[in-house]
Amino acid sequence: MAGVAAPAWSNGTAGAATRGSVTHVIFDMDGLLLDTEGFYTLVQERILARYGKTFDWSLKAKMMGKKAIEAARVFVEEMDLADVLTPEAFLEEREGMLQQLFTTTELMPGAKRLIDHLHAKGVPICVATGSHRRHFQLKTQNHSDVFALMHHIVVGDDPEVRNGKPSPDIFLAAAKRFEGNVDLSKVLVFEDAPSGLLQQRMRGCKLAVMVPDPRLDASYHEGADQVLGSLSDFDPAVWGLPPFEDLSSEPLSSPRSHLLYFIQQLLLSELRPTKFMLIHPIRLGIGCPLKNLERERERRERRGTARPASSRPLGSETFGRPASPSLSAISSLFSEPLERISSVPDGGISEEQKGIGPYYS
């Protein structure tokens, strides 16, 4: 698109969209940034167990990304439950169990690190989630520090999102809320669901990274430019984005990263070598005796940059998260404040949510 201003970090790549021309990033949320997939599976397995049936991934793939009522119809029809369970009754029963589980939601591996990095480098990022606001609030209440870094957030019951995935409504709403004109062919979309990939392709976005559940059949990966096992495996530099600058810039699941982490723990632990060992940090490219690592740890303690080893057992090192801001800190990212969200009484689900809330609602 002519006249698009490149961000300060841009490598200035011109012409057709390539892996080196990304200017903006859009994240899906459920199953990608937040580990909520298991909640839906667990609840639906419990419901089906009453009828002597089992929930499998072929059914889940058909439900993913759809609005709640549409997914409920698929659930009831595919499981041949129309005579004993209505889609509306299914949603109401599921809602009560999900609300309890959502408050325990954890971040997916690599999510915080990647979001922190892109935000720090000035890369415009946002979330486009099928979750409606009430569920978004429950799922993110322990991670508001992460979601506050987004330029904006588009939820499933946003007025501009009239249709769920694979309709492109939510993608269009997310892309146009970035500042200035956005070339859709240079927007990188992160998804875990096949419906999301179809959605972004329908609107001309040529770049997509898929991080699917390993149980999802590989046939659903079609349309992705890159398929990863985890966000920890994502390398920003491959896409022309600012590279990670810390020692763990390599994908966290690689053997080299595991070695670097082990060395870091040696420096910070009270472990004392009983014999000479040769460790070869590949990143540094030099041989490093274990006793030298011990000296480095002691040097840090003398400088006050490490706690005394006696107070820190091996493996006890933790990396604290900064205090999370309240949800009001991210309410401005929506077209309407979170305070206007109405809760669902007695575990029920509102008519509005039945019609608008998506499967991951």
pLDDT digits (tens, 9 = 90+) for 288-319: 444 444 555 555 555 554 444 433 333 333 33
Q: Which CATH class is domain 20-245+326-361?
A: alpha beta
For the CA atoms of 44, 45, 51, 57, the dihedral, rounded to the nearest 10 degrees, stands at: 90
Give the three-state DSSP class for 205: coil
Q: Which of 160-169, 193-202, 281-290 has the lowest mean pLDDT?
A: 281-290
CA distance 90 to 16: 47
30 among known catalytic residues: yes
Give the three-state DSSP class for 94: helix
What is the residue extent of each domain of the chain? 20-245+326-361, 255-311
| Of residues 204, 156, 167, 160, the one with CA closest to residue 182 | 204
pLDDT of residue 330: 52
Determine contact, residues 359/95, Cβ cutoff 8 Å.
Answer: no
Determine contact, residues 187/25, Cβ cutoff 8 Å.
Answer: yes
What average pLDDT does this structure show over 308-336? 43
pTM for the structure as a whole: 0.66
Catalytic residue from among 30, 145, 157, 183: 30
Catalytic residue from among 28, 157, 158, 183: 28
User: What amino acid is encoded at 80 in this protein?
Assistant: D
Query: How far from 187 is each of 26, 107, 151, 153, 154, CA to CA, in Å?
Result: 7, 23, 14, 16, 16
pLDDT of residue 21: 83
CA distance 203 to 143: 30
Do strands 24-27 and 152-154 pair parallel, antiparallel, or not at all (unpaired)? unpaired
DSSP, res 51: T
